Amino acid sequence: MTIAADVTKANVEQGVDLWLRMYRKMWMIRLFEEQVNELYTRALMPGLAHLYVGEEAVAVGICEALRPNDYITSTHRGHGHCVAKGASPDRMFAELLGKAAGYCRGKGGSMHIADPATGNLGANAIVGGSAGIATGAAFSSKKLGTEQVTVCFFGEGALGQGVLYEVMNLAALWKLPVIYACENNLYTEYTHFSETTAGDVLERGRAFGLPSESVDGQDVRAVYATAKRLVDRARKGEGPAFLVCDTYRYTGHHVGDIAREYYRSREEEQKWKTERDPIKNLETWLLAQKLGDAAAFARVQNELRAEMKAAVEFAIAAPYPGPEEVDQDVYA
């Protein structure tokens, strides 16, 4: 199914709030990440962070297909998932800076943000590490009859982790409401995925009988339409699915990965940024449909820039947790 076939005039009219919301959410993620990079370069943030810039359409398209009480599990590159599912930037920045107002009282940092209130069961520093959590959540929803769906986000690097196939097997046997969403941004750290991944990736889901599809991860409308179909199907009790989103990270593997030419060219990066940018793609379409104009787009960006700036200021001014709670909320 192509989204173009799906977008009749009536659908556009009904969907206008949805498209504009997705536009705004993608900008929110991009500007959030811009601030994270700034915090890193100003040496205000302890440790590193893995930015989601370039991949915004994946998190936003998929999370828009979910209900607020549906679950997601995330990765080391998790800020985009977190924002798309509804987390608040001020508490996210506070977490990155180790402040008590953060989602994990400052004890988790970038790779451990969890927000149960928005159904976010957590980022995960272990590649493939959230596959079991997502499948367990789907198992519990099925047993409790809550009609919740879980989306398990992971990078293509996790295709090399055995746990993924163990849980796909169980999810298929038990018809669990879970979507395995692979974000293929082409690189596993500094190695092109073709050097680590044999065969046709979709066959890995098909081996377990999962409906397995790929989608242009730079086209938020296509991601949304595909995710919605698979999520609705899972919600009806028709079982799990495997969705591969083809995408690209614009920046380094982490904020410190600046000199990248030994593993990918500047030309390649430039091509993705200029020809396949998910925000520009949606903007062009919104303009063509007369659903927005340059002034409205500028307004959205200005509002969000101000919001992000205020959120960072909140986090910088926020207090650290006291020494008396060093052993609280920490599990081994």
Ligand X SMILES: Cc1ncc(C[n+]2csc(CCOP(=O)(O)OP(=O)(O)O)c2C)c(N)n1
CB of 176 to ligand X, least distance (A): 22
Residue 20, CA atoms < 13 Å, CB-side half-sphere: 17
CB of 32 to ligand X, least distance (A): 16
Q: How far apart are the first and last CA of the chain?
A: 46
Rounded Cα gap, residues 161 and 152, in angstroms: 14
Residues in region 248-277 near ligand X by CB under 6 A: 253
Residues in region 177-196 near ligand X by CB under 6 A: 185, 187-189
Nearer to ligand X, 251 or 301 (CB): 251
Nearer to ligand X, 148 or 185 (CB): 185
Structure tokens at 242: 């495997």
Q: Report yes or no: 244 and 155 within 8 Å, Cβ to Cβ.
A: no
Question: Max CA-CA distance within the chain?
Answer: 60
CB of 196 to ligand X, least distance (A): 9
Task: Say whether residue 155 binds ligand X (CB under 6 A).
Answer: yes
Q: State the pairing for strand pair 187-188/191-192.
A: antiparallel
Q: Quick one: which H or E segment has residue 43?
A: none
CB of 252 to ligand X, least distance (A): 10
Nearer to ligand X, 125 or 291 (CB): 125
Task: Say whether residue 49 binds ligand X (CB under 6 A).
Answer: no
Rounded Cα gap, residues 141 and 47, in angstroms: 36
CB of 224 to ligand X, least distance (A): 21
Q: Judged by CB under 6 A, how many residues of this single chain contact ligand X?
A: 15
DSSP letter at 120 equals: B
Binding residue for ligand X (CB under 6 A) from 158, 179, 243, 282? 158
Ranked by CB distance to ligand X, the top (closest) residue is 155
Q: Report yes or no: 21 and 300 within 8 Å, Cβ to Cβ.
A: no
Binding residue for ligand X (CB under 6 A) from 157, 177, 239, 240? 157
Q: Which ranges of the chain would DSSP assign to H, the alpha helix?
A: 3-6, 9-41, 56-63, 79-84, 89-96, 131-144, 162-173, 202-206, 220-235, 266-275, 278-288, 294-317
CB of 19 to ligand X, least distance (A): 26
Nearer to ligand X, 88 or 214 (CB): 214
Residues in region 61-120 near ligand X by CB under 6 A: 76-77
Task: Say whether residue 217 binds ligand X (CB under 6 A).
Answer: no
Nearer to ligand X, 159 or 171 (CB): 159
CB of 143 to ligand X, least distance (A): 29
Q: Residue written as tokens 């339409």? A: 225
Structure tokens at 208: 């377990």
Distances 290 to 23, 221, 284 between C-alpha atoms, Å: 14, 16, 10
CB of 160 to ligand X, least distance (A): 8
Write out the residues near ligand X by the rule CB under 6 A: 50, 76-77, 125-127, 155-158, 185, 187-189, 253
